[in-house]
Every structure is written in structure tokens, then in C-alpha cells.
Structure 1
Amino acid sequence: MNRRESLTNLVLAGPAALALVLFIFLPVAVVFVLAFTDYQIGAPGMGWVGLDNFSKLFGSRLGRNAILNTLTYVAIVIPASVGLGLLVALGLHALARSLPRIAAILKAVYFLPVAATLVAMAVSWQMLLHPSLGLVNGWASALGLPAPLWLSDRSLVLYTLAGIGVWQTVGYNMVLFLAGLAAIQPALYDAAEVDGASRGWSRFWLVTWPMLGPTTLFVLVVTAASAFRVFETVATLTKGGPAFASDTIVYALYREGFVYFKAGYASAITVVFFIALLLLTALQVWVVERKVHYR
């Protein structure tokens, strides 16, 4: 490679590489350093505290509660949103053959929560779930069913937020699965029919599901990342309450860093969040990719 080619490569790739270093790698390095300090925003100095911030996170009741709530939320949202997204995609893919216009309308309806602003959708849910004026409790009362306090009951609020999270994610997963279904060659179904797998479960298990392997892996990783960083619905609907029953690790990060200005402790929460998300993604790739068939 001559000097002119090297200069051309530097001019083309240099700005992007510099932006990557300045806006991603450097802030990550700063966060990792601050995680071992007691730095507070606006303080004239800071001290080195070692692992004290991490001990506080895992040793305090609020820290363990935020981690447990996040893991519970993730355990509900990932399988529910992936499973429902696949189910909806299969139904719309089959419907598109006979009623393409209706299928197109339903696709738009399912994708609406993805396209809409999360804060606006959260406010809409707050109105729907209002204990006395909300439409959900109004229907429940009309049917003679109990009208719970969806966002005020400590035993129910986290599951309510998880349900909203599933509702927000299904449309995006549906689009990804639809793309995967469209890429499956019809000849594969013809070959399976010759072998006796002409319809129903056998057709899905022998052809559709294996060919959706790469799409499923991508959907799992994206859904896990989205579920772990849940923030908008918590900040808008509950602010971590009642009594920290819906507190999550990202909302705890926001509260400690931008309300109490404890940058060191918030950085430690960020490091734990980053490592947990990295390990979950690696586990998903390691487990699922062994059964994925790439074309």
C-alpha cells in the first residue's frame, strides 16, 4: 500500500474512528475509572474507594431489589415478546396469502407501539390503567371482575410494567420474524411435503423453525438489550414506586447519578449493567448459535 492509498484510507476512516474513540471508548473508560471512586458531580475532588461502590450495590436492600426487579422483568419480557412476536408473524404471513390488505393493516397496528414515542405511550397506559377513571378498570367493573391498582399495588406493578414492555416489543419482533419467513425458500417446504411433513407442527418444526435460527438469535439479543435497559415506562408511570417495588437497575442509575449526583456509585451501577448485559448476550449466542443453521 503506497502513501497515497494510506492517506486516502486515513481521510475516509479517520473521522469515524476518531468519533468512535471520543464518544464511545473514552466515555466507557471514564465510567470504569469513576466506578472505583466516590466522585460526586460538582465536588472539587474525589477519592479512591476501590470496590466499595460495588459492595454498596450488592449489599444494600435497594441495590439488590433493583437487580432482582430487573431480572424478573427480563425473565418475563424476553420469552413472552419473542414467542408472541413469532406467533403473530406466523399468523400474518399465512394471512397475507389470502387477504393481503387486511394483513398489511394488522402489521401496521402491531408495529404502532414501536413507531410511537415511548413516553407518549406510557402516558396513554397511565390513563388506561387509572384506578377509577381508566378504561381497563371500567371494563373490569362492567364485567363484574375486580379492579386492581395496576400501578400502585406493590405485588402487581412490576408485572404490569412487564406487560407493557411485551406490548411495546412484540411489533418489532414480528417485523424481524416476517423478514425471516419471507427468506425461506418454498422448495424446502416442497421437499418436506415429500417426506411427509405437509402441514401443521411437523412443517414448522422441520423447516420453519430451523431456518429462522439466525433471525431468532438476533431477536433474542435485541430483546434482551431492550428489556435490560427499561427506563421510560418506569420513569413515567411509577418512578420506581410504590416503595421501590418497580425500581430497576437503569432507573437506579438515573436516580443516583442525576438526582443525587453520586457519579461514582452511578458509574458502578453502569459497569454492573454492562457486564450483565454482555454475559447474557454471550450466553444467548453460545446456547442458540450451536443450533442455528446459516444459509
Structure 2
Amino acid sequence: MIRAALTDLLLVGPAALAVVLFIFLPVGVVFGLAFTDYQVGAAQAEWVGGANFAQLFGSRLGRNALLNTLTYAAIVIPGSVGLGLLVALGLHGMATRLPRLSALLRAVYFLPVAATLVAMAVSWQMLLHPSLGLANTWLQALNLPGQQWLSDRGLVLYTLAGIGIWQSTGYNMVLFLAGLAAIPSTLYDAAAVDGADRGWTRFWSVTWPMLGPTTLFVMIVTAASAFRVFETVATMTAGGPAFASDTIVYALYREGFVYFKAGYAAAITVVFFLALLALTALQMLLVERRVHYR
């Protein structure tokens, strides 16, 4: 018994120690720093309690970053999940009739996931250029006015959200394709006997209920990705114009690595962590009730 326990401890111990040192300990340090005014390089720090959190929620810039992040997530999550499902359904049905075309389209849709995001952001900057970009060229060809996609305060956040949907659709498509492939064909045969043999009837009675676990996972992964959006903001707008595209993670970067306000950046990190945890719990509570596991 003792020998078995020592063997288990020897096997589990290194991994458990790594988790404590590289996950739990840094998290504890961040939570501690969030209640101080520590700045990088300072010899000491003062305990300020909830002053950092009050500054985050009380300042216009703090509230703006939070609101922009929520708006971005509210657009990207349903957009990329819904579009990923539609693309997966189309490619799954095409796989039996046109397998080569289906494989080619899968690679095309997955390209944004496999490509370097910074390189893709530069490509989007060229595409959305106000005078040389193809987007405005196409609009002018249709006799529509060109847009300042990345410099219009009322448009820039929605432009970034559209790029976020484009970026996430391919990954969601792959997950939904895996879920569709796991649905037994016998369920469709049984549904056909009951009259659900085509179209939306077949989808709502068999496909959608059986995709419940996959949909829950896709929503959680997409929500986490949407809330931590950073690369496109940093590369394309740097939070501008006039903080119109500022997000909570970019604000964290700016305060912590540009202004070196480690205490305030830690408070932003805590708020981000708790918000993401609450959103995940809410998704599980609302969606889990309608999920069918086999």
C-alpha cells in the first residue's frame, strides 16, 4: 500500500508541482498585486485596497474598454458559431457528392486559423485601406461611398468584429464537422420512418440535438477567444481612433507594459478572469439544460 502510494506520488508529483509553480502561484501573485499600487521597477508598493478596481470601473477609459469588449464578444460569438455551423453543414453534405471540392473548401476556410494572425492583420489593413483597398474599390464600383474602416470611431469596432468572425469560423467549422461525423446514421433512418426525412425537419429533430455537446464546447472556446482579442487591435488600430477600439486585454497590455502600472494591470487581469469565468458558467447553465449526451 505504501509502495503504491509512493509510486503514485512520484508519477503525479512533478506535474502537480509544475501546475502549482506555473499556474496557481502566478495567479495568486496577480490577485495580490491587484490590491497594490506597484509599478515595475519600484522598490516597494503600497496597499490600496479596491482603488484599482474603482479606477477601472469609475474612469471613462476603463468603462469604454469593458463596453467595447462586451460589444465585440456579442457580435463575434453568435456570428462565428452560426457561420461555422452553416459552413460545416454544407461541407458535410457535399463530402459524399463532391469530396475533392469539399476537401478544398475545408482547407480554404481553415486557412485563417493556420495562418499567422499578425500577417493576416497586415493583409486586412491593405484590403481596408481608404484609398487603395479593395473594399472601397468594390463599394465605388457599386456606386456606394467608401468607408474609413479603421479610422471611423463608429465603424472600427464592427470592422474588427467582422475580422474576428472571419478568423474564428474555420476553427468552429472543424469542430462542428467532427460533431456531425459522430452522429450515427441510424438516427436519421429512425427519423425518416417518423416522417423527418429531409430539410429543416431532419435538422431540428436529429442533427441539432445531437450537436449539443459540440455546440456548448464551441461557444465556450469562441467566448474565450473573443474576450481576449488582442493581436488585431494591437496590429491594426492600437486601440484607436480615440480609444474606440480599446479592449480590456489591450488596456491590460497598455497599462502593464507601456505605463508599467503593474498593480492596475493586475486588477484588469482579475476582472477579465472573473468576467470570463462568469460567462462560461452562464453558458453552461443555459445551454447545458438542452444538451443531450450519449
Tell me if both proteins adopt one fold, taking TM over 0.5 as the criterion.
yes
Paired with 1:139 and 1:19, the residues of 2 have a C-alpha distance of: 53
Count of aligned positions: 294
> What is the CA deviation profile of residues 197-217 of structure 1, one whole-angstrom value per residue up to 9, with x for unaligned ones?
110111000000000000000
Q: Percent identity of the aligned residues?
A: 80
Paired with 2:278 and 2:205, the residues of 1 have a C-alpha distance of: 31
Partner of 1:161: 160
- The offset of 1:145, in angstroms, is 1.6
- The offset of 1:247, in angstroms, is 0.1
Tell which deviates more after alignment, 12-21 or 240-249: 12-21
The correspondence of residues 132-281 of structure 1 with structure 2, limited to 5 A, is: 132-281=131-280
- The offset of 1:60, in angstroms, is 0.2
Paired with 2:136 and 2:3, the residues of 1 have a C-alpha distance of: 70
User: What is the TM-score of this pair, normalised by structure 1?
Assistant: 0.99
Partner of 2:85: 86
- The offset of 1:4, in angstroms, is 2.4
Paired with 1:127 and 1:43, the residues of 2 have a C-alpha distance of: 42
Paired with 1:210 and 1:148, the residues of 2 have a C-alpha distance of: 42
> What is the CA deviation profile of residues 24-74 of structure 1, one whole-angstrom value per residue up to 9, with x for unaligned ones?
000000000000000000011000000000000000000000000000000
- The offset of 1:140, in angstroms, is 1.7
Paired with 2:277 and 2:120, the residues of 1 have a C-alpha distance of: 29
Paired with 2:143 and 2:274, the residues of 1 have a C-alpha distance of: 47
Paired with 2:135 and 2:19, the residues of 1 have a C-alpha distance of: 46
User: What is the TM-score of this pair, normalised by structure 2?
Assistant: 0.99
Q: What letter corresponds to residue 69 of structure 2 in structure 1?
A: T
Q: What letter corresponds to residue 150 of structure 1 in structure 2?
A: W
SS across alignment from 1:203:
helix
SS across alignment from 2:242:
coil
Paired with 1:206 and 1:76, the residues of 2 have a C-alpha distance of: 28
Paired with 1:155 and 1:135, the residues of 2 have a C-alpha distance of: 21
Tell which deviates more after alignment, 282-291 or 136-145: 136-145
Paired with 1:7 and 1:130, the residues of 2 have a C-alpha distance of: 64
Partner of 1:57: 56
Paired with 2:289 and 2:210, the residues of 1 have a C-alpha distance of: 13
Paired with 1:193 and 1:3, the residues of 2 have a C-alpha distance of: 59
Paired with 1:117 and 1:13, the residues of 2 have a C-alpha distance of: 36
Tell which deviates more after alignment, 43-52 or 131-140: 131-140
Paired with 2:234 and 2:240, the residues of 1 have a C-alpha distance of: 10
- The offset of 1:7, in angstroms, is 2.4
Paired with 2:152 and 2:118, the residues of 1 have a C-alpha distance of: 22
Partner of 1:116: 115
> What is the CA deviation profile of residues 169-217 of structure 1, one whole-angstrom value per residue up to 9, with x for unaligned ones?
0000000000000000011011111111110111000000000000000
Paired with 1:62 and 1:127, the residues of 2 have a C-alpha distance of: 29
SS across alignment from 2:240:
coil
Q: What letter corresponds to residue 146 of structure 1 in structure 2?
A: P
Runs ≥4 in structure 1, deviation > 6 angstroms?
none
The correspondence of residues 94-109 of structure 1 with structure 2, limited to 5 A, is: 94-109=93-108
> What is the CA deviation profile of residues 239-277 of structure 1, one whole-angstrom value per residue up to 9, with x for unaligned ones?
000000000000000000000000000000000000000
Q: What letter corresponds to residue 15 of structure 2 in structure 1?
A: A
Paired with 1:150 and 1:98, the residues of 2 have a C-alpha distance of: 40
SS across alignment from 2:36:
coil
Q: Is 2:31 the counterpart of 1:11? A: no
**Structure 1 residues without counterparts, runs of 5 or longer:** none
Partner of 2:67: 68
Paired with 2:231 and 2:4, the residues of 1 have a C-alpha distance of: 47
SS across alignment from 2:180:
helix
- The offset of 1:10, in angstroms, is 2.1
